A and B are shown apart, each in its own frame.
Chain A
Amino acid sequence: MTEPFLSIRKLRKAFGAFVAVHDVTLEIPKGEFLTFLGPSGSGKSTTLYAIAGFQDPTSGDVRLQGKSLLAVPSHKRNIGMVFQRYTLFPHLSVAENVAFPLRVRRRPDAEVKRKVADMLSLVRLESFAERLPGALSGGQQQRVALARALAYDPPILLMDEPLSALDKKLREEIQAEIRRIHRETGVTILYVTHDQEEALHLSDRIALFRDGRIEQIGTGEDLYLRPATDFVAGFIGNSNFLAAEHLETVGGAATIRLADGSVLSGINANGSFGSGQKARLMIRPEAFRLERGPRSAELAVEIVDVAFYGERRRIVARTAAGQEIDIRPTSSAMASHDATASRRQVFFDPAAAFLFPA
């Protein structure tokens, strides 16, 4: 069996009694854009730092192209990295910042010059070559940092929340830039973020971290449409959770009773449930319909508020059991309905709803 490009094996990092990373195992093929997503303190940055060589793992291994990196000091790992904060060298010009990794590698002047020009055009900052970092905006500084991290053609690029210091518009702009650069260079990227939208936009795959473990790893679609746990469902996208009681499961399709007494069947069961077991029903806000479909489950609600959000409307509704839920029909679907009717039925495809243990 051939070894994967980059593999993390049973990586564990403990700080005293606190275990930041619990035996994380991951395999990353060449050229992949993998995002470590998770709340702060979930171990995603610690895992990244172990790959960078800033933190020695307590146990486990990090292997790149079949060789362990653990004994290799940071400066010999040949890994590129863009940091959360601006880490450009303030006394060097933009061009000299990008040239820095090549200069410490003692590459010939002509090559350095050519490579710097290539990199600055990759991040579209050719005209800023002679500026000092202090004269650039935050977004420009991160683009220079990206150029510097790619100048020596590292096999992997690590990015530690590189956009968290930027405002929303700039973030989106640089996200597009990062996607383009990933496409153009084919570099393998490990990207850390706590922003689920960013993870969904950018990544080939997402590893969702929770309390030092990987809760689920898969494409954005996997995590969004087929969440393995209620934590994944709650972290990625918006979710409604309704209290339910499990009645029976046949072939993965569960029949449940909601708190208002209504019985629904054909729900996706995540895990195995006993009869009468308490459970949580998860439904995405956009999975709700205002009209009965071919395979509809229905829910009686009272409309509390309707707001216009452009392409969608946002309805806040209350179930008969008194729980508030979030419903987001498309605006055109909503327009044909009487928004003032305060009591009504809403519908959803039971196959798009998931049952999790309570």
Chain B
Amino acid sequence: MSVEIEQSIARMRLPTGLAGLLPALTLIGLFFVVPVLALLLRSVTDPAPGLQNYAALLGDGTYARVFFNTFLVAFVVTVVTVLVAFPVAWMLAIMPPALASLLFGIIILSMWTNLLTRTYAWMVLLQRTGVINRALMAIGITDQPLPLINNLTGVTIGMVYIMLPFMILPLVGTLRAIDPMTLRAAALCGASPLAAFRRILLPLSLPSIAAGGLMVFVMSLGYFVTPALLGGTSNMMLAEMIAQMIQSLLNWGLGSAAAFILLVVTMALYALQLRLVGSKRPAGGA
């Protein structure tokens, strides 16, 4: 009997070695590795062979400002997204399942709605004579319209809105896996709600916050539509700059170099996250 089972397991064993991996490797090579190599090649050959594109990007103050601005926006967006997403995720994790499914539906629905439409909607809401400014003035919080658009504030609001589902979804999964009894146990041990959050809930959800945060950060680094529509000219982001280089200036070499720098930074961040979170995962834990 047990021999039979063992044999059937052996038959089920997946093909190993290079031959078995060939289809997957071909796919990845064709659609991921080749384009990146082409990009790299272009950045060091266009318009002439050499590293002048990189030198121009890294040596110039204007470009440096764009890089700095890109990281600043991505950082602010990530922090705000985490701060907003955590309470929402917690609420979704502890509320009755039927209600939670409904709210999930609404969140997912917003993800499925066209990005451009959503960003234009924010333009309508955030402009000087928009709903938000008029409401704030009507209840007397301010007597002049606040500058909510064409600046960092506008970009942050618009991008946080778009990034929220990417943070909420993994976080809800993690928070749901935490037995509420664990928090009751913490309370009886003498932990105030704040102490229980700081010592139990936060450390347990940290891997998920880090993973979601990295995803949001990386997506924000390369974001185009929202910064272009809600941001100002003074705080251009990298994707906008690449678009300009290629569309308006037709400078493929410089654009490729900028894209490649973004890729390297992203991969470095991912490696860092793997080191920080990946190695600390509790052995044998649930």
For B283, what are the chain A residues with a Cβ–Cβ distance below 8 Å? 132, 134-135
Decide: A104 and B190 in contact? CB cutoff 8 A. yes
Task: Say which residue of B184, B199, B203, B286 sits within 8 Å of A87 (CB atoms).
Answer: B184
Q: How far is the CB of A163 from chain B (nearest CB, A)?
A: 16
Residue of A nearest to B200 (CB): A89
Contact between chains at A87 and B179 (CB < 8 Å): yes
CB-defined contacts of A208 to chain B, threshold 8 Å: none
B190 touching A81, Cβ below 8 Å: no
Q: Mark contacts of B156-189 with chain A using CB atoms, 8 A cut-off: 1 yes-contact digit, 0 otherwise.
A: 0000000000000000000000010110111111
Question: Which of A53, A101, A105, A149: most chain B Cβ within 10 A?
Answer: A101
- 8 Å CB interface, A148-179 against B: 148-149, 152, 158
Partner of B189, one of A84, A101, A132, A158: A101
CB B284 to nearest CB in A, in angstroms, measures: 4
Q: Is B61 at the interface (CB under 8 A from chain A)?
A: no
Alpha-carbon distance between A2 and B119 when the two chains are bound, in angstroms: 71
Q: Inside 8 A of B200's CB, which chain A residues have their CB?
A: 89
Q: Which residues between 37 and 93 of chain A lie within 8 Å of chain B, taking CB atoms?
A: 52-54, 73-81, 83-85, 87-91
Residues of B within 8 A of A54 (CB): 184
* Number of residues from A at the complex interface, CB < 8 A: 34
A288 within 8 A of B: no
What separation, in Å, do the CA atoms of A83 and B181 have in the docked complex? 8
* A134-B282 contact given A77-B188, A104-B191, CB 8 Å threshold: yes
Q: Is the CB of B187 within 8 A of A91?
A: no
Residues on the B chain within 8 Å of A77, using CB: 188
Judging by beta carbons under 8 Å apart, are B184 and A85 in contact?
no
Q: Which residue of B192, B199, B203, B285 is within 8 Å of A75 (Cβ)?
A: B192
Query: Do B188 and A80 have beta carbons less than 8 Å apart?
Result: yes
| Cβ–Cβ < 8 Å partners of A101 in chain B | 189-191
Which residues of A lie under 8 Å from residue B186 when comparing CB positions? 89, 100
Q: List residues 237-286 of chain B with CB under 8 A from any CB of chain A.
A: 282-286
Looking across the interface, which residue of chain B has its beta carbon closest to that of A54? B184
Cβ–Cβ contact B190 & A152, under 8 A? yes
A85 touches B179 (CB 8 A): yes
Cβ of B204 under 8 Å from chain A:
yes
Residues in chain B near residue A52, CB distance under 8 A: 184, 188
Q: Which residue of B lies closest to A96 (CB)?
A: B199
> With contacts A85-B179, A89-B200, A90-B204 known, is A100 near B286, CB below 8 A?
no
Contacts A89-B200, A104-B199 given; indicate if A81 touches B285 (C-beta within 8 A): no
CB neighbours of B192 from chain A (8 A): 75, 104
- For the complex, give the distance between the alpha carbons of A233 and B12 in Å: 57
Most B CB within 10 A of own CB, among A52, A83, A88, A152: A83
Asked whether A78 and B204 contact (CB < 8 A) given A87-B184, A134-B285, the answer is no
Report whether A132 and B187 are in contact in the complex, using a CB–CB cutoff of 8 Å: no
Interface pair B199/A100, CB less than 8 Å apart = yes
Q: Assess whether A74 is in contact with B187, with CB atoms less than 8 Å apart.
A: yes
Asked if B195 is at the interface of the complex by the 8 Å CB criterion, the answer is yes
Q: Which of A246-290 touch B at CB < 8 Å?
A: none
Main secondary structure on chain B at its contact with chain A? helix
Which of chain B's residues have a CB closer than 8 A to the CB of A87? 179, 181-182, 184-185
Report the Cα distance A303→B282, complex, angstroms: 60
> If A91-B204, A134-B285 touch, does A83 touch B195 (CB 8 Å cutoff)?
no
Contact between B284 and A75 (Cβ–Cβ < 8 Å)? no
Shortest Cβ distance from A52 into chain B, in angstroms?
6
Contacts of A53 in B (CB 8 A): 187-188
Q: In the complex the two chains form, what is the Cα distance from A29 to B187 in whole Å?
A: 25
With known contacts A91-B204, A104-B199, A148–B189 Cβ distance under 8 A: yes
B1, chain A: closest CB distance, angstroms: 25
CB distance B184 to A83 under 8 Å? yes
- Which residue of the partner chain, among A75, A133, A135, contacts B190 with CB atoms under 8 Å? A75
Closest CB in chain B relative to A229 CB, distance in Å: 34
Contact check: which of B185, B204, B286 meets A81 at CB < 8 Å?
B185
B182 surroundings in chain A (CB, below 8 A)? 87-90
Which B residues lie within 8 Å of A76 (CB)?
190
Bound-complex Cα distance A104 to B203 (A): 15
- For the complex formed, measure the closest distance between the CB of A79 and the CB atoms of chain B, giving whole angstroms: 6
Contact residues in A for B190 (Cβ distance below 8 Å): 75-76, 78, 101, 104-105, 152
Interface centre among B187, B188, B192, B283 (most CB of A within 10 A): B188
Q: Which residues of B contact A158 (CB under 8 A)?
A: 188
The smallest beta-carbon distance between A347 and chain B, in angstroms, is 52
Residues of B within 8 A of A73 (CB): 187
User: In B19-66, which residues have CB < 8 Å from any A CB?
Assistant: none
Contact with B along A91-134 (1 / 0, CB 8 A): 10000000011011100000000000000000000000000111
Cα–Cα distance between A240 and B195 once the two chains are bound (Å): 55
Within 8 A of A (CB), among B180-229: 181-182, 184-193, 195-196, 199-200, 203-204
A132 near B285 with CB under 8 A, answer yes
In the complex, the chain B residue whose C-beta lies closest to that of A135 is: B284
**20 more A-B contacts (CB under 8 A) besides A104-B190, A132-B282, A134-B284?**
A52-B188, A75-B188, A75-B190, A75-B192, A75-B193, A75-B196, A77-B188, A79-B188, A85-B179, A87-B179, A87-B181, A87-B182, A87-B184, A89-B200, A90-B285, A90-B286, A101-B191, A132-B283, A134-B285, A134-B286
18 A-B contact pairs sorted by A residue (CB < 8 Å) = A74-B187, A79-B188, A81-B184, A81-B188, A83-B184, A87-B185, A89-B199, A90-B182, A90-B204, A91-B204, A100-B186, A104-B189, A132-B283, A134-B282, A134-B283, A134-B285, A135-B284, A158-B188
Nearest first, the 8 A-B pairs at minimum CB distance are A101-B189, A87-B185, A134-B285, A74-B187, A134-B284, A75-B187, A81-B188, A104-B191
